[in-house]
Amino acid sequence: MDVISVITAKRDRRELTDDQIDWVIDAYTRGVVADEQMSALAMAILLNGMNLREIGRWTDAMIRSGVRMDFAALGTPTADKHSTGGVGDKITLPLAPLVAACGAAVPQLSGRGLGHTGGTLDKLESIPGWRALLSNDEMMDVLRQSGAVICAAGDGLAPADKKLYALRDVTGTVEAIPLIASSIMSKKIAEGTGALVLDVKVGSGAFMKNLADAQELARTMVGLGRGAGVNTVALLTDMSTPLGLTAGNALEVRESIEVLAGGGPADVVELTIALAREMLAAAGVRGKDPADALKDGSAMDHWRRLIAAQGGDVDAPLPVAREQHVIPAPASGVLTALDAYAVGVCAWRLGAGRARKEDPVQAGAGVEMHAKPGDVVTAGQPLLTLHTDTPERFEYAIEALADGVEVAPLGTEYTRTPLVLDRIG
């Protein structure tokens, strides 16, 4: 085998053989295939696609690049959730302890930001002392203590994906459906969870811009999961507008804690409860209703145990950016658009995301929203507050919002898009 023949095969729209897929994944994991060569192959896959056989084999090769975990020793049904990435998507933070409070164990393997979308690990690392990297034994200990764990995939779990995940972020190949599906499902299958709920985002702030593409991705992933014996379902959810009122790391942690305390934005609460109910049903757990666990404080108790078990100081103040800039409403009327992609790029440019896989992120950077589409605003009132440690970023970040905000005259009717658009599985 040689990597050039694999690249040119996909460049020329030919199917990759099982042997080619097995070899290139193994060779890339071992460093025989260079990053620039895998970048070329990833771009060819993005442009020319893969069929279901290729995707299945690619996923299996990614799984076989490492170990597989088993949570049978817990003696508790397990359920996990994965989001394909959005703006303001902090749902994992309240969701994991919420599901644990209702009777299922949640071994949640999460990732870092990809492009304009935020990463769960980046958010949680804004909590002083919190650790994303845990050994398998530490994962089990945290699960026993708190009922849930949120951490990075270990080096032994689908290591091929760990390398490719970071590479896609900086080579413009994040949106390839075969690579999204195989990346997500290789980790989730190797993780060993019994049930999996996929939150497939649809809209400007998602990697899937339209419902048809999102349905294709969801069907692909549900098929991969069920084929591997994992009870898998998918919800397709709207990402035309950011979730909640914050996009950024510490900002989103603060908002998640508000949800766990029984408050928080209505859309974040709605989606958290919907996904929790799906996870519990998929795991076969019939206990406390998630809405009740948010109200009675039990979800917050599990959150505090989870964060402390991973070294976090649950009572420490969260980081705050050194500089803020307020953007006022341009006119009086009804806010009819607050584009998720525009807000995501703005937050990314402020320092909440990374341009290269080696880049650090600013814990306090991001965007705070003071209104959502459908709200009445008055000219000059604060519409957005931008946060960063580096004020020279403001001008470039503001440019991202140029076409992202629309205010219509008072009396304009606005119909909110349903949060859950479809269910597959």
Average pLDDT for 349-366: 88
Question: 327 and 210, same structural domain?
Answer: no
413 domain residue, yes or no: no
Tokens of 73: 């020793």
Reply yes or no on whether 357 is catalytic: no
DSSP state of 317: P
DSSP code per residue over 283-301: HT---S-HHHHHHSSHHHH
To which H or E segment does residue 4 belong?
helix 3-11
Spatial separation of the C-alpha atoms in residues 61 and 168, rounded to whole Å: 18
* pLDDT value at 357 more than 70: no
Spatial separation of the C-alpha atoms in residues 348 and 342, rounded to whole Å: 10
Higher-pLDDT residue of 292 and 84 is 292
403 domain residue, yes or no: yes
Q: Look at residues 284, 309, 334 and tell me which one is the last residue of a structural domain.
A: 309
Q: At what angle do helices 211-227 and 52-64 cross, to 10 degrees?
A: 50
18: amino acid identity, one letter? D
* pLDDT value at 59 more than 90: yes
To which H or E segment does residue 369 belong?
strand 366-369
394: amino acid identity, one letter? F
Task: Give percent of the chain above pLDDT 70.
Answer: 99
First to last CA, the chain: 38
Of the listed ranges 13-27, 124-138, 149-163, 219-233, the one predicted with least confidence: 149-163
What pLDDT score was predicted for residue 156? 83
Reply yes or no on whether 168 is catalytic: yes
Reply yes or no on whether 301 is catalytic: no
* pLDDT value at 169 more than 80: no
CB burial of residue 418 (10 Å; 0-12, 13-18, 19+): exposed
Which pLDDT tens digit goes with each residue over 67-122?
989 898 899 999 999 998 899 999 999 999 999 999 999 999 888 876 788 899 99
Q: From the candidates 161, 238, 267, 339, give the one annotated as an active-site residue.
A: 161
Spatial separation of the C-alpha atoms in residues 130 and 122, rounded to whole Å: 11
What pLDDT score was predicted for residue 170? 82
Spatial separation of the C-alpha atoms in residues 256 and 366, rounded to whole Å: 15
What pLDDT score was predicted for residue 287? 79
Average pLDDT for 164-178: 86
Range of the domain at 24: 3-49
Q: From the candidates 10, 168, 188, 387, give the one annotated as an active-site residue.
A: 168
Question: 32 and 96, same structural domain?
Answer: no
Question: 295 and 356, same structural domain?
Answer: no
What pLDDT score was predicted for residue 174? 82
φ, ψ at 350 (rounded to 5°):
-75, -15
* pLDDT value at 26 more than 70: yes
Q: From the candidates 126, 183, 186, 298, give the one annotated as an active-site residue.
A: 183
Reply yes or no on whether 183 is catalytic: yes
Spatial separation of the C-alpha atoms in residues 292 and 172, rounded to whole Å: 42
Task: Give percent of the chain above pLDDT 90.
Answer: 86
Place of tokens 């519409």: 383
The rounded Cα 314 to chain-centroid distance in angstroms is: 22
Question: 277 and 138, same structural domain?
Answer: yes
Beta bridge partners of 151: 109
Q: From the candidates 57, 90, 162, 187, give the one annotated as an active-site residue.
A: 187
Question: 354 and 267, same structural domain?
Answer: no
Average pLDDT for 323-331: 98
240 domain residue, yes or no: yes
Question: 101 and 234, same structural domain?
Answer: yes
Question: 214 and 141, same structural domain?
Answer: yes
Average pLDDT for 248-261: 98
424 domain residue, yes or no: no
Reply yes or no on whether 313 is catalytic: no
Question: 404 and 288, same structural domain?
Answer: no
14 domain residue, yes or no: yes
Spatial separation of the C-alpha atoms in residues 329 and 379, rounded to whole Å: 5
Beta bridge partners of 424: 234
Higher-pLDDT residue of 156 and 339 is 339
259 domain residue, yes or no: yes
Maximum C-alpha span of the chain: 66
State the pTM of this model. 0.90
Spatial separation of the C-alpha atoms in residues 365 and 182, rounded to whole Å: 31
Q: What is the CATH number of the domain that holds 44?
A: 1.20.970.10
Q: How many domains does the chain have?
A: 3
* pLDDT value at 356 more than 80: no
Spatial separation of the C-alpha atoms in residues 130 and 97, rounded to whole Å: 16
DSSP code per residue over 154-205: PTTSSHHHHHHHHHHHTTT-TT-HHHHHHHHHHHHHHHT-SEEEEEEEESTT
Spatial separation of the C-alpha atoms in residues 200 and 179, rounded to whole Å: 14
Spatial separation of the C-alpha atoms in residues 304 and 313, rounded to whole Å: 9
Question: 203 and 234, same structural domain?
Answer: yes
Q: Which residues contact 138 (CB under 8 A, 6 or more apart)?
A: none
Question: 333 and 301, same structural domain?
Answer: no
Q: What is the CATH number of the domain that holds 402?
A: 3.90.1170.30
Output the average pLDDT for the chain. Answer: 95
Question: 332 and 199, same structural domain?
Answer: no
Q: From the candidates 82, 305, 354, 387, give the one annotated as an active-site residue.
A: 82
